[in-house]
Structure 1
Amino acid sequence: MASNYTEASIKTLSSLEHIRLRPGMYIGRLGNGTHAEDGIYVLLKETIDNSIDEFMMGGGRKIEVELTDRSVKVRDYGRGIPLGKLVDCVSIINTGAKYDSETFQKAVGLNGVGQKAVNALSLSYRAQAFRDGETKVVEFEQGRLKSQTKVTKTTDRTGTLIEFTPDEKLFGKDFKFRTEFIEDMLWNYAFLNRGLTLTLNGKPFRSEHGLKDLLTKELSGEPLYPIIHLEGEDIEIAVTHGKHYGEEYWSFVNGQHTTMGGTHLAAFREAFVETLRNHFKKDFDAADVRQSIDAAIVVRVQEPVFESQTKTKLGSTEVGPKGHTLKEFVGKFVQQSLDTYLHKNRETAEIIKAKIEENEHERKELAGIRNIARERAKKASLHNRKLRDCRLHLGDRNPRAEESTLFIVEGDSAAGSLTATRDVQTQAVFALKGKPLNTYGLTKKVIYENEEFHLLQAALNIEESLDGLRYNRIVIATDADVDGMHIRLLLLSFFLQFFPDVIRNNHLFILQTPLFRVRNKKITRYCYSEPEKQAAIVECGASHEITRFKGLGEISAGEFKDFIGENIRLDPVNLHHLYSSDELLSFFMGKNTPERQDFIIGNLRVEKDLVEA
């Protein structure tokens, strides 16, 4: 029987109640801090954005961030929030100065929501404004005002101090800020705001060369030619090519990192291809021009239109700087400045041309064997039971599609245990035959010649791009022994070599599985480390017994259910703080056995030393 739908069914929520009930509308996702786009980082970003806007308006050249446990402080030296409006500015939605384009030009935050969401989603929130020798403090709890001081005299410099602790009722009891994600955020702010110094617990972040510095820091290997750095009014671009597969971009609008791109990035990608076609007077394939590209772009526009409150993608705004559409503005700048640069730097131009021709040659070579590989894969898939697929996939119109996961395991034994206990709606299993091929130094041709890698590529549906990726999470699930670690390295090498975007877009994970089971007749504890094992021994008492799991195949299906369900432990694979993945791959996967051998011998520690340490 359908429930009654009457006037009593209609509810009106306050802005605070709505933010806490529907946080996804304001900060995207919640999460516990293991992902760079989890909500706790959005709260920090929204706070820093206001300080950045002050810097862009000429207020203050330093922003200090302090991270203590699970609380964050942000202090700027801008103009300071007007004391009489301090409560309103941090708690009443749609309140702010940024509706007046004469007060804030080309600001990041424009709709008066961000800081109110930070307040509403925090267990505790404190704001202090310093202005003209006076100060005022307001404190909130879960968005509700708890106290406010009177205006008092101060000798502190003008500016604003925000301190907040995210609410564990929303973000989970185990939420945690990861320093590497915050450092990446601060570096991006520094690259986009030359002359600004940001600090994290005293560590400075500052850039002298803008996007050129960004690209230098983020490149996964040596560039094929010196970074091309182009600057104009309201636009800046840095671009080069590397040796990797795929395209890598960093795009920004008014200092906002648009991780999902948007109209400005689409305009650049198109203009880059057209400019090189015109310069070399040859109708190159667009894919050949952009293969292996590394590029960063920032545009500054008044009142940008984003596709959501989290501002990760620039919407289809037609209004760009100087009265042009954004597409025209970006296209004209790229065509003029890049063409001029290439005429002045002939050596770079020739390297780019050679790279495009190399990409074209490889693409045509691959085309010759693709059909053969596809036919072989089609026949193999009729008899191959290595993939146990799930029913929901990334992109399906189903709320659970984001949960879609592919576990890559070694051997049929582990695959059998996992398959017997998995969630058939969202969890798929791909079983490797044994150790996969070491792909380091090989070309993409190996994917089509190696049946196992081709089947894996087909299962993921990433041959052309990530647009068709069938699983949100790709989980490497290998044994916790030497062979398992080796297989893990081989798979990481495969993704780094040929599909780095899988890693850059946070789709690749390592499954943590228990090393020990400690139990007595009443208690069973699964332990992932030696300290956890020792704690379990104390809990279980003298009658305990210990089982050491050497491989996933030893774990029964009934036990496996605990490790891949709600309590699943996943370590995200990322490229943070890694200047050159090429160097890393060369050391671990290359044919430099003497170098590795010397390193291992030089770092050996015998068991006696470990015990004494």
Structure 2
Amino acid sequence: MPKKTQEYGNESISQLKGADRVRKRPAVIFGSDGIVGCQHSIFEILSNAIDEAREGHGDTIIITRYRDHSVEVEDFGRGIPVDYNPREKRFNWELVFCELYAGGKYNTNDGESYEYSLGLNGLGLCATQYSSEYMDVEIYRDGSKYTLRFEKGKIVGELHKEPTSRKKTGTKIRWKPDLEVFTDINVPLEYYTDVLKRQAVVNDGTRFVLRDQREKGFEESEFVYQNGIVDYVNELAGEEALTPVQFWTGERRGRDREDKPEYKVKLQVAACFSNRFKLIEYYHNSSFLEHGGSPEKAVKSAFVSMIDSYLKQNNKYLKNEGKITFQDVEDCLILVSSSFSTQTSYENQTKKAITNKFIAETMTEFLKHNLEVYFIENPEDAAKIAEQVLINKRSRENAEKTRLNLKKKLAGGLDIANRVQKFVDCRSKDTTRREIYIVEGDSALGSVKLSRDSEFQAIIPVRGKILNCLKADYDKIFKNDIIIDILKVLGCGVEVKSKSNKDIASFDLAGLRWSKVVICTDADVDGYQIRTLILTMLYRLVPTLIEEGYVYIAESPLYEITSRDRTWFAYSEAEKAACLAEIGSAKYKVQRSKGLGENDPDMMWLTTMNPETRRLIAVKPDDMAATAQMFDVMLGDNLAARKEFIAEFGHLYLDVADVS
């Protein structure tokens, strides 16, 4: 029988009231009920303190992170008005702490309390109070100290007022986000340091003090930029920037639509160009715009338009060359935009993007004008910028060609039309059984071919020493036929991340045709070097195969020891000594193992190919960072580090070194 549903009538409609409007639906206000929402609730309190400082009321804000996950924000502004409000016929503390859409930023009768406000929506303080386990408030103003306490969205007791001799006004709020509201309240220290540094950048001269409670007291750090975004861009650019930092500022008035009210916009942009570093950040009313919105549209339009015009006017484009894109500009641009407006349309309450049409339009014209003047007054800088943007453009286009060519090379199965030279496949199509042996040279190919089980073991030879993939650039790597052949045979594509290519070709582990990738080289100096170069190639181009345990080294014996009609294989000096001890006084013959190409098929099967008797070393780096560092020292461009390593540890390897 179908399940009977409750009748949907007039009594079915209900409304969340009071604190439940936030406590039961925190994601509506804070964007999430997890750690991101909890972090946003903290920023709402901080933003009120910032608004006070920006208006000239106090130049220091102290934030304390307690070990029990409670938070305290103290400012030295005017202090929140909490006494009786005759006009509203209610206490101001009720309006500020217990009413959504209430606060000083809505008061237009006596002029604007805040010209440019970060906390514009009137939700933050009340919403954070509602979502707290408790909130304690201290306010100093009008010669009095006011205290309030809330628990789970409700006032405990009443407003307490007493005289104070303290001269400084201000507000101190300590609260603990409620685990009944948020799934996680353990906000990491990195969140505080990141937010406070960003706020110091866009609030010139305001000092942010972070106190982090530890076992033995508080650890303090301070964030202040006296010249705001100019100091920040100079810090990012360093001494080797292509151009000096430019700072442009201006104010405009306008409206988003003819029937909408006029509002004021203040624009501030600091920018320079660099071939070593890139960064673009947008802020509005001090809020970091992670997703940009209007300012991002303006920057993209203005910079592409003005640099493209310069390139055309100065005949910098080649014949039939296409236009630059913003990616080409972005790859050498350091820019921080800090705008303010008396009216702001945020994408949502989390304020990660703004949508004001007038801000996008006026900022575009503002940037175009300043770039035009800058290029005229600084022709050398303009030429440097144009040259670097063209370098970026052409590198991007070459990388795109490389990507497309590589995809074409690696596409499809291994058939007659896409054959790999000297690759010997196996019969089985079961990828859980199939093994690919990467062997050293044609002679080893012949020996391994005769020794293998052709049902599940395939072979591809490496012709000589392959390219050092740690030193070579991607363009050179993907012109190397041996490397392309190995990648074709593996079948999983390639995972490459570079400055101008997020991914040169898509990697898909499901496309891997093998259960094991076995590197099989001679047990001598040349063999070890070839093995290292193959490992380096796999580490750089398909590191997931190493991380997931698909890569193995076939260990070849160093010695073949015969006595009477029995043969032993020793893989180390210690094993050799153990074998000789076992033989005792009987006659024996010790023969240094030959190269793979000289071994007879039976021996090769026994020592290298037979799953029952072979020795395979699984390549599983426990510490990828240490592995990367060692590859860099041994095979990278860090010559000084290589010399230092050899000087310190070289004596340990004299026995196996190919020196006389």
**After TM superposition, is the score higher than 0.5?**
yes
Q: How does 1:62-81 map to 2 (within 5 A)?
A: 62-69=60-67, 70-81=69-80
How far 1:119 moved relative to its partner? Answer: 1.4
**2:191 & 2:541 partners in 1: Cα distance?**
25
TM-superposition CA deviations, 1:443-484 (whole Å, max 9, x none) = 677689877799677899x99779xx999xxxxxxxxxxxxx
Over 3 Å counting, the alpha-carbon distance change for 1:39 and 1:367 in structure 2 is closer
The one-letter amino acid paired with 1:65 is: I
Q: Which residue does 1:4 correspond to in 2?
A: 6
- Please tell me the residue identity of whatever aligns with 2:343: E
Structure 1 residues 211-248: Cα deviation after superposition (integer angstroms, max 9, x where no partner):
23333445699533333332333111122334469x74
Q: Structure 2 counterpart of 1:163, which letter? A: R
Q: Does 1:252 align with 2:283?
A: yes
- Aligned-pair CA distance for 1:362: 1.6
3-state SS of 1:6 partner: coil
Q: What residue number does 1:543 align with?
A: none
Distance 2:539 2:281 in 1: 23
Moved over 6 A (4+): 447-460, 462-466, 489-495, 550-555, 585-589, 599-603
Aligned 8 A contact 2:24 2:181 in 1: no
> CA shift at 1:303, angstroms?
1.5
Residue 5 (structure 1) shift = 4.2
| C-alpha spacing 1:593/1:106, structure 2 compared with 1 (3 Å) | same
Find 1:235's aligned residue among 267, 271, 281.
267
Return the alpha-carbon distance in structure 1 between the equivalents of residues 234 and 537 of structure 2. Answer: 27
Q: Pairwise mapping of residues 21-170 of structure 1 onto structure 2 (< 5 A)?
A: 21-32=24-35, 38-69=36-67, 70-84=69-83, 85-100=92-107, 102-156=112-166, 157-170=168-181
The Cα of 1:285 is off from its aligned counterpart by: 1.5
Deviations 1:389-435 (A, max 9, x none): xxxxxxxxxxxxxxxxxxxxxx999xxxxxxxxxxxxxxxxxxxxxx
Match of 1:179 in 2: 189
| Amino acid of the structure 2 residue aligned with 1:146 | V
- Partner-residue secondary structure (3-state), 1:82: coil
AA aligned to 2:395 is: E
- Structure 1 pair 310–345 and aligned structure 2 pair: CA distance change class (3 A): same
TM-score normalized by the length of structure 1: 0.63
Taking CA–CA contacts closer than 8 Å with sequence separation of 6 or more, which of the two structures ends up with the larger relative contact order?
Answer: 1
Structure 1 position 130, deviation (Å):
1.1
In structure 2, runs of 5+ residues without a counterpart are: 84-91, 212-219, 252-265, 318-322, 416-430, 434-466, 509-533, 548-616, 650-660
Give 3-state SS (helix, strand or coil) of 1:169's partner: coil
Q: Is the 8 A contact 1:87 1:138 kept in 2?
A: no
- Indicate if the aligned counterparts of 2:402 and 2:475 stay in contact, CA closer than 8 A: no
Q: Does 1:295 align with 2:298?
A: no
- 1:307–1:313 CA contact under 8 A, matched in 2: yes
Shift of 1:304: 0.6
Identical-pair percentage: 22
Residues 208 and 126 of structure 1, relative CA distance in 2, 3 Å threshold: same
For 2:49, the aligned partner's letter is S
SS in 1 for 2:292: coil
**Which position in structure 1 is the counterpart of 2:452?**
none
The answer (yes or no) to whether the contact 2:495–2:507 under 8 Å persists in 1 is: no
State the shift of 1:142 in Å.
2.1
Shift of 1:183: 1.3
In structure 1, C-alpha distance between the alignment counterparts of 2:222 and 2:241, rounded to whole Å: 27
Per-residue deviation, residues 258-285 of structure 1 (Å, max 9, x unmatched): 1011011111111011111223426741
Q: 1:602 to 1:158 in 2, by over 3 A?
A: farther
Distance 2:645 2:164 in 1: 58
- CA displacement, residues 342-373 of structure 1 (integer Å, 9 cap, x when unaligned): 22333322221111221232233234333322
Q: How does 1:408-423 map to 2 (within 5 A)?
A: none
For residues 198-220 of structure 1, what are the alpha-carbon distances to aligned partners after superposition, in whole Å with 9 as ceiling and x for unaligned?
11124221102222333344569
Report the Cα offset of residue 134 of structure 1.
0.6
Preserved CA contact (<8 Å) 1:221 1:243: no
Unaligned runs of 5+ in 1: 33-37, 319-324, 383-410, 414-435, 472-486, 496-510, 512-549, 556-572, 574-582, 604-613
TM-score calculated relative to the size of structure 2: 0.58
Pick closer, same or farther for the CA change 1:470–1:250 going to 2, 3 Å. farther
Contact 1:265–1:297 (8 Å) recurs in 2: no
Which residue of structure 2 aligns with residue 594 of structure 1?
640
Contact kept? 2:471, 2:637, Cα under 8 Å: no
Mapping for residues 99-498 of structure 1, pairs under 5 Å? 99-100=106-107, 102-156=112-166, 157-172=168-183, 175-201=185-211, 202-218=220-236, 223-233=241-251, 234-243=266-275, 248-280=279-311, 281=313, 284-286=323-325, 287-315=327-355, 317-318=356-357, 325-379=358-412, 442=473
Deviation track 1:5-64 (CA, whole Å, cap 9, x = no partner) reads: 4234322111421212221121123434xxxxx233212211111011112222111111
Mark the CA change 1:443 to 1:602 in structure 2 (over 3 Å): closer, same or farther.
same
User: Any idea what SS the aligned residue of 1:342 has?
Assistant: helix
Q: Distance in 2 between matches of 1:187 and 1:76?
A: 17
The AA in structure 1 aligned to 2:66 is T
Measured against aligned partners, the alpha-carbon deviations of 1:147-173 in whole angstroms (never above 9, x if no partner) come to 334211122321111111122334446
Indicate the SS of the match to 1:252: strand
Q: CA deviation at 1:439?
A: 5.6
Quick check: 1:273–1:290 contact (8 Å CA) kept in 2?
A: no
Deviation at 1:100, TM superposition (A): 3.1
1:568-605 Cα shifts (integer Å, max 9, x gaps): xxxxx9xxxxxxxxx9x9999952243377599999xx
How far does residue 82 in structure 1 lie from its aligned partner after superposition?
0.7
Count of residues paired in the alignment: 450
Deviates more, 1:282-291 or 1:271-280: 282-291
Letter of the 1:74 partner, please give it: V
Aligned partners of 1:262, 1:470: CA distance in 2, in Å? 32
Q: Provide the rounded CA distance (Å) in 1 between the counterparts of 2:538 and 2:273.
A: 25
Q: C-alpha offsets along residues 68-90 of structure 1, whole Å, 9 cap, x if unaligned?
A: 21121111111111122124312
| Letter of the 1:256 counterpart | S
- Aligned to 2:104, what secondary structure does the other structure show? coil
**Aligned residue identity for 1:279:** Y
* Secondary structure of the corresponding residue to residue 116 of structure 1: helix
3-state SS of paired residue (2:176): strand
Q: Which amino acid aligns with 1:285?
A: I
Counterparts of 2:414 and 2:247, CA distance in 1? 48
CA gap of 1:60–1:292, structure 2 versus 1, over 3 A, is same
